[in-house]
């Protein structure tokens, strides 16, 4: 039976310490953005500071790496079997098959990488961060202030195959926590340096986005709200970075479950596996070397089994040809 903790208002919250399976020997400086590709039985994730896209194959357990010349901040799947990448300065299409034919898989050729939309390339102190393909087929991605003293200068964007980057949220320090309700009518978004997880109303027919409104007010001890996933019941699973936990919130925004992890800095989770009941989790190496030394799984990709299935990853609608980089 799970242990129980109590909210300030007296509401019981179930607490678990799940059995962890480590999937790859790769140690990321800042692991992020896990995405399960059910068609090919592989998991993709990124190492932002390691400038890399990683691929883990379920059947063999092998890990493959592609290294870039700048930060790789997040990724998504595309309907043309390529990847959508958020590099520090824009959103790109990445063809892994073309990259595999190059002489060095650690240095993708220009032909394998094509620009979809340049975003905030003129703001030297910003870079892109958390991104995810929505059920609308667009790539939603936010930016962040890289300075130590962060200001509300970052934004949230919705990027379509036509290359247009629509700003849908602003006044953010570190954009994070993207997720989508099962019916596609709500977008969830957090600021890792703010007290709130926001909810945006989205009209799938009109393709319009409402203003972000406060949905969940984070409490002390929950951790800063980092990457997230949504299950089939509409619950929102949020990585509590620096608190070593994943917080599961109900569709009404109430904390209902806590999953304790063997790392202090989980960064993002996603559902996958045969029945979408495996929760994959990325993590980072803590900035404190002493703290990192006590956590052998810090920076690793690992998983555990959930009692509920998650939503499958959506695919980017790549209906137009984009200009190739030179």
Residues 37, 47, 191, 226: which is the catalytic one?
226
Q: Please, are residues 152 and 142 in contact by the beta-carbon 8 Å criterion?
A: no
C-alpha distances out from residue 277 to 45, 213, 301, Å: 18, 30, 16
Q: Please, are residues 144 and 106 in contact by the beta-carbon 8 Å criterion?
A: no
- Extract the runs of DSSP E, i.e. beta strands, from 82-206: 83-87, 90-94, 113-118, 126-133, 139-145, 154-159, 165-172, 175-180, 186-191, 196-203
- Residue 183 bears catalytic tag: no
Rounded CA separation 307/235 (Å): 12
Q: In what order do the strands lie in the sheet with 21-22?
A: 21-22, 302-305, 278-283, 266-272
Task: Measure CA 36 to chain center.
Answer: 11
Q: Exposed (0-12), middle (13-18) or buried (19+): which is 47, by Cβ within 10 Å? A: buried
Radius of gyration (C-alpha) of the chain in whole angstroms: 18
- Residues tagged active-site: 226
């Amino acid at each position: 039976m799970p242990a129980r903790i109590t909210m300030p208002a007296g509401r019981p919250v179930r607490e678990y310490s799940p059995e962890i399976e480590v999937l790859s020997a790769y140690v990321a400086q800042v692991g992020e953005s896990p995405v399960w590709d059910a068609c090919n039985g592989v998991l993709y994730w990124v190492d932002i500071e390691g400038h890399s896209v990683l691929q883990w194959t379920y059947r063999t357990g092998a890990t493959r790496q592609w290294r870039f010349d700048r930060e790789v901040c997040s990724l998504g799947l595309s309907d043309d079997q390529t990847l959508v990448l958020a590099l520090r300065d824009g959103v790109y299409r990445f063809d892994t098959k073309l990259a595999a034919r190059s002489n060095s898989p650690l240095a993708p050729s220009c032909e394998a990488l094509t620009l979809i939309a340049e975003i905030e390339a003129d703001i030297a102190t910003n870079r892109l961060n958390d991104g995810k393909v929505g059920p609308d087929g667009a790539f939603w991605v936010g930016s962040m202030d890289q300075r130590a003293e962060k200001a509300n200068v970052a934004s949230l964007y919705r990027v379509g195959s036509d290359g247009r980057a629509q700003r849908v949220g602003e006044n953010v320090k570190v954009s994070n926590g993207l997720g989508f309700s099962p019916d596609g009518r709500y977008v969830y978004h957090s600021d890792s340096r703010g007290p709130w997880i926001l909810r945006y109303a989205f009209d799938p027919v009109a393709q319009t986005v409402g203003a972000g409104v406060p949905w969940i007010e984070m409490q002390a001890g929950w951790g800063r709200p980092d990457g997230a996933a949504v299950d089939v019941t509409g619950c929102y699973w949020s990585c509590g970075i620096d608190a070593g936990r994943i917080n599961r919130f109900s569709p009404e925004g109430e904390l209902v479950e806590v999953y304790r992890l063997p790392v202090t800095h989980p960064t993002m989770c996603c559902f996958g596996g045969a029945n979408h009941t495996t929760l994959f989790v990325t993590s980072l190496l803590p900035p404190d070397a002493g703290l990192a030394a006590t956590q052998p799984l810090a920076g690793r990709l690992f998983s555990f089994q959930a009692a509920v299935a998650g939503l499958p990853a959506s695919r980017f609608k790549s209906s137009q040809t984009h200009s190739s980089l030179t």
